Amino acid sequence: MDNYSSNKAGLRINPATETHRRVAASGQKLTCTAADTDYTVTVVAETRYAITVDAIGVIWLGIADITIDANIIRSVGPGRILGIEIPVGVTTLHYGSDSAGAIGRLARIDDT
């Protein structure tokens, strides 16, 4: 039996995000100094990223202001690795947390 993960569009993606090669020098630190606040980071459209969260809080991700619940499209908790795909035309990733002091690490994935 094959085991696949899917993105929101229903396309198959490799479930083993942690085994993908990170693109050198693509890492970005996501720091949430306050809870329930919208922060942004620049990303490359039509690429995949892996995000990990340190020991505090849950980080929410969106392509619009995440202080509006409807805009939260993914979330990742402490110690987890999540693969996300940036849509066409999107170069800003919005993020925030339920906890002040939450820190995440974002790295572009080489899918080749």
What are the pLDDT digits (tens) for 62-105? 999 999 999 999 999 998 889 899 999 999 999 999 999 999 99
CATH code of 41's domain: 2.60.120
**Residue 39 in contact with residue 96, Cβ under 8 Å?**
yes
d(CA 41, CA 51) in angstroms, rounded, equals 13
- Which one has a higher pLDDT value, 112 or 80? 80
What are the pLDDT digits (tens) for 7-55? 555 555 555 555 566 676 688 999 999 999 999 999 999 999 999 999 8
Domain total in the chain: 1
- Expressed as residue numbers, the domain containing 66 is 5-110
Residue 48, CB-side half-sphere exposure with 13 Å CA sphere: 20
Q: Edge-to-edge strand order for the sheet containing 59-62?
A: 39-42, 92-97, 59-62, 72-76
pTM of the predicted structure, to 2 decimals: 0.79
Predicted pLDDT of residue 29: 95
d(CA 95, CA 41) in angstroms, rounded, equals 8
pLDDT class for 1, splitting at 50, 70, 90? very low
